[in-house]
C-alpha cells in the first residue's frame, strides 16, 4: 500500500454560485428592489466584520458566461457556520430573485509533500495563515474542481511517496513562477463533494489564469494525472460594480 500524504486542514469552504432571475428582478417594484439591495449590502457588511475579526473570509465575484451570474466564496471555522450563511441568504428578499446555479463544499488543505522533515507545521505562522487565509480582493477569480487519475498505469494513489513528492516539487516550481500574479487556494473535498479538490485562483490580470493553467498542463502531475471539471471565471463585485450589475 502507498503511504497517504499527511494533510493539514484549515477553514471550511463553500462556493455558492447563483444566477439572477432577471425577469423577476425586472418585474419587482422599486421598493422591493431597494429592500433586496439593502439586505444584500448588510450581509456583505456582516461578512466583512467576520473577516476583520479573523473568524472567516468571504469573496464576492460576478461570473462571466452562462454558468452563473455571481459567486460567494465563504471560508468559516465549521460546516454549521457555512450552512447558517446559506440558509440566512436564502431567506433574504434578494435571494428570491436568484436561482441556485452550482455549489461546492471543501476545506482549505495543505499537504506535507514539500514540508521539511522533523518540523511541526502548526508552529509555523505562515502555514497557519495559509490554512485560514483572508481571501484576496483581486480583480479576478477562477474556480474549478479536479481529481487525480486512478486508471491503469496512471494511478496517482498507487505511486510511492517519493514519486509523488518529485512531481509535486515540479508542480510547485511552476506555481512559484506566478508569485505575486496568481494566488491559489487549494481546498480538499474528498468525502464532501464530487471531486477531490477545488482550485480557486485570484489574479489582477485574468490572462495569468490561462498562462498558469496552460503551463501546468505540460507538467507531469497535471498532464498524466489531472482531471478537471467546469471552470468558472469572474470579476470582483465592489459595492459600485454591484450597483451597476443590478441597476435596470
- The set of catalytic residues is 144
Tell me: does residue 222 bind ligand VOV (CB under 6 A): yes
Cβ proximity to ligand VOV: between 95 and 199 the closer is 199
Residue 67: phi and psi, rounded to 5, are -70, -30
Of the candidate spans 16-24, 37-45, 62-70, 172-180, the one that interacts with ligand VOV by CB under 6 A turns out to be 172-180
- Cell numbers placing 45: 457588511
User: Looking at beta carbons only, is 15 or 171 nearer to ligand VOV?
Assistant: 171
- Cell matching residue 89: 441568504
CB 5 to ligand VOV: min, Å: 5
Q: Does 178 appear as a known binding residue?
A: no
Decide: is 178 part of the binding site for ligand VOV (CB under 6 A). Answer: yes
SS3 breakdown of the chain: % helix, strand, coil, rounded to 5? 40, 30, 25
Binding segment toward ligand VOV, per CB under 6 A, in 23-31, 39-47, 171-179, 236-244: 171-179
Indicate the burial class of 115 (C-beta count within 10 angstroms; 0-12, 13-18, 19 or more): middle
Phi, psi of 13 (to 5 degrees): -125, 140
Is 147 annotated to bind a ligand? Reply is yes
d(CA 182, CA 200): 10
Q: Among 135, 182, 237, 242, which residue sits at the site for ligand VOV (rule: CB under 6 A)? A: 182
Q: Interface with ligand VOV includes 216 (CB under 6 A)?
A: yes
Per the structure block, which three cell numbers stand in for 162?
517519493
Instruction: Kindly state the smallest distance separating residue 225's Cβ from ligand VOV, in Å.
Output: 9
142 binds ligand VOV (CB under 6 A): no
List residues bridging with 228 in a β-sheet: 146
- The torsion defined by the Cα of 172, 79, 143 and 193, in degrees rounded to 10, comes to 90
Residue-level length of the chain: 248
Residue 13, interface with ligand VOV (CB under 6 A)? no
Cβ atoms of residues 156 and 150 within 8 Å? yes
Name the residues that contact ligand VOV, by CB under 6 A: 5, 110-111, 113-114, 146, 148, 168, 171-172, 175-176, 178, 182, 184, 186, 197, 199, 212-213, 216, 222, 226
Annotated binding site: 130, 144-148, 171, 184, 222
Amino acid at each position: 500500500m502507498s503511504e497517504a500524504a499527511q494533510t493539514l486542514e484549515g477553514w471550511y469552504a463553500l462556493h455558492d454560485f447563483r444566477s439572477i432571475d432577471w425577469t423577476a428582478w425586472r418585474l419587482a417594484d422599486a421598493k422591493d428592489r431597494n429592500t433586496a439591495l439593502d439586505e444584500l449590502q448588510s450581509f456583505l457588511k456582516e461578512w466583512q466584520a467576520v473577516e476583520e475579526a479573523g473568524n472567516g473570509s468571504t469573496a464576492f465575484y460576478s461570473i462571466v458566461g452562462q454558468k452563473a451570474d455571481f459567486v460567494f466564496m465563504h471560508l468559516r471555522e465549521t460546516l454549521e457556520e457555512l450552512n447558517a450563511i446559506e440558509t440566512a441568504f436564502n431567506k433574504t428578499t434578494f435571494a428570491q430573485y436568484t436561482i441556485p446555479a452550482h455549489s461546492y463544499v471543501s476545506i482549505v488543505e495543505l499537504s506535507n509533500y514539500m514540508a521539511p522533515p522533523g518540523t511541526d507545521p502548526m508552529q509555523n505562522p505562515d502555514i497557519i495563515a495559509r490554512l485560514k487565509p483572508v481571501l484576496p480582493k483581486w480583480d479576478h477569480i477562477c474556480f474549478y474542481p479536479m481529481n487525480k487519475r486512478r486508471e491503469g498505469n496512471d494511478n496517482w494513489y498507487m505511486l510511492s511517496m517519493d514519486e509523488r513528492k518529485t512531481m509535486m516539487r515540479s508542480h510547485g516550481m511552476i506555481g512559484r513562477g506566478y508569485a505575486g500574479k496568481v494566488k491559489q487556494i487549494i481546498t480538499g473535498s474528498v468525502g464532501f463533494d464530487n471531486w477531490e479538490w477545488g482550485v480557486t485562483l485570484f489574479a489582477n490580470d485574468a490572462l495569468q489564469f490561462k498562462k498558469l493553467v496552460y503551463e501546468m498542463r505540460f507538467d507531469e502531475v497535471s498532464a498524466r494525472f489531472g482531471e478537471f471539471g467546469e471552470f468558472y471565471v469572474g470579476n470582483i463585485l465592489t459595492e459600485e460594480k454591484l450597483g451597476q450589475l443590478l441597476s435596470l
